[in-house]
């Protein structure tokens, strides 16, 4: 299957490409656009990116697999990423992790059957002053408590 970028994404990619000395240099931002557009970086998505950047599949694959921020497997509509690093843990992050696992009935790396939530434990979200922190898709949620987590999850349709 050949994946095609939407018109909107294409315009964005063109804007990005203008900022770089060569096309290959734009691998990271274009991979993010692909992830937003296609949900995760499937082989087809990586190949589409390689074609746009006029670079090899191997190069894109190497970059995409290096960064954990790119999802190489499908994720749910909401990708809940809870920080597992030190600062958040000191502020009660471990409790929040357990609470999320229980509430969503998921282990890390799993997706709910309805495809709504994926739960991941991630490294530092650079929000150490406001821990515990989590990121759902591209939004940050800070100073989490179980009540706040309930409220956030209930608000997600």
Nearer Cβ to other proteins (23/59): 59
Nearer to other proteins, 58 or 139 (CB): 58
**88, 128 in Cβ contact below 8 A?**
yes
The one segment of 50-58, 78-86, 90-98, 99-107 that binds other proteins by CB under 8 A: 50-58
For residues 103 and 153, the answer to whether their CB atoms sit within 8 Å is yes
Distance separating alpha carbons of residues 156 and 126, to the nearest angstrom: 24
Pick the binder of other proteins from 8, 15, 66, 140 (CB under 8 A): 66
Give Cα separations from 142 to 11, 66, 88, 121 (angstroms): 33, 27, 10, 15
109 binds other proteins (CB under 8 A): no
Residue 65 in the binding site for other proteins (CB under 8 A): yes
Helices 57-66 and 27-38, axial angle in degrees (round to 10):
80
Region of 28-36, 61-69, 128-136, 149-157 interacting with other proteins (CB under 8 A):
61-69
Of the two residues 54 and 147, which places its CB atom closer to other proteins in the complex?
54
Give the nearest distance from C-beta 73 to other proteins in angstroms: 14
* 43 scored as a contact of other proteins (CB under 8 A): yes
* Site for other proteins contains 42 (CB under 8 A): no
Residues near other proteins (CB under 8 A): 43, 55-59, 61-62, 65-66
């Amino acid at each position: 299957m050949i994946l095609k970028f939407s018109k909107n994404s294409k315009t964005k990619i063109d804007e990005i490409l203008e900022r770089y000395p060569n096309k290959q240099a734009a691998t990271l931002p274009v991979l993010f656009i692909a992830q937003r557009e296609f949900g995760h970086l499937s082989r087809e998505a990586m190949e589409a990116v390689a074609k746009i950047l006029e670079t090899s599949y191997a190069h894109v694959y190497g970059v995409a697999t290096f960064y954990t921020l790119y999802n190489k497997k499908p994720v749910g509509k909401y990708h809940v990423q809870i920080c597992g690093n030190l600062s958040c843990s000191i502020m009660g992050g471990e409790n929040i992790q357990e609470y999320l696992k229980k509430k969503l009935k998921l282990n890390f790396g799993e997706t709910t059957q309805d495809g709504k939530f994926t739960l991941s434990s991630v490294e530092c979200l650079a929000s150490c002053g406001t821990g515990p922190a989590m990121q759902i898709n591209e939004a940050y949620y800070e100073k989490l408590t179980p009540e706040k987590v309930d409220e956030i999850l209930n608000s997600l349709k």
